[in-house]
Amino acid sequence: MDRRTFLALSAIAGGMVHPGQMQIFDEASAEGLEYAPPEIFPKFDPPRHLQVAPLDDASLIDRQLYTSLQGLVNRKEPRVYYVTRDIDTSWLEYYRDTYHLDVTSYETAQELLKRYAEEISGYIVYDPENPDSRNIALLMGGLQNALPIHPSQAGIVESVGLKELDDLTGRWSDRYEAYRWALAELFPKGNQRVLGVNCVDEPHWPSQSFWLEDYLIAGNILTFDLSAARRDREDRKLLDEIYGAATAPGCIIGWRSARNV
């Protein structure tokens, strides 16, 4: 399947259907055929009790670490909630009052790491010299129930008893080799319908984004930072390979690459 076909079918699944296309489904229904839309997105149980910690003053790599923890913990049952800005407090109050949730507050996110360490299998070190390796580590972490970490964070996770499962330092020469390896070795084991875009080219926006990483790791979603700009031919070629391997209809979530301007 090529990129155009994948995107077209994904648009249909998302509700962006041309009136002429809608007639096709009407005719099929009239002939007694039934169409049941496939389940695309990972499903999670509703929350009952939330453990809340502040994350507003944390560094980017710490926010990424604890957001990954949130994803691994919450896919079993949504429990971890972070406050990174004022709106998070407003939403917390809404969830608590509307759904009658119990809420327990913690002073630091590290307390939650300690609390849930027994539910985590270990950690995977990504290579800061190859920032795309963090996207690979997200999928590896989801599949192995492990935290992707910056090398400087090893002491933090080892202090709660976690062991190293893999080290991606120097594993690949560039982003293309890394993503092709992930496409061949990891993607078949993960989500076949949802793809993630997570920009890593710091310090440009949206490279500072981390909010989706809990969902990406929880859903075992192949995540990449590739440009769709015409000048970036190698990126576009690899995008075609990724879209061709995906199952349609599907969805792409995230922010565009900072190089895609």
pLDDT in tens, 155-186: 999 999 999 999 999 999 999 999 999 999 99
The dihedral sign for the CA sequence 250, 255, 258, 260: positive
pLDDT in tens, 18-31: 333 333 344 444 45
How many other C-beta atoms lie within 10 A of the C-beta of residue 52? 19
* Global pTM value: 0.85
pLDDT in tens, 88-142: 999 999 999 999 999 999 999 999 999 999 999 999 999 999 999 999 999 999 9
* CB-based burial label for 97 (10 Å; 0-12, 13-18, 19+): exposed
Mean pLDDT estimate for the chain: 88
Phi, psi (deg, nearest 5) at residue 106: -120, 150
Is the pLDDT at 143 greater than 70, yes or no? yes
How many other C-beta atoms lie within 10 A of the C-beta of residue 216? 27
Q: How far is CA 225 from the centre of its chain?
A: 12
Question: Amino acid letter at 192?
Answer: Q
First to last CA, the chain: 26
Instruction: Tell the residue number behind the tokens 């790599």, with chain if given.
Output: 61
The DSSP 8-state label assigned to residue 81 in this structure reads: E
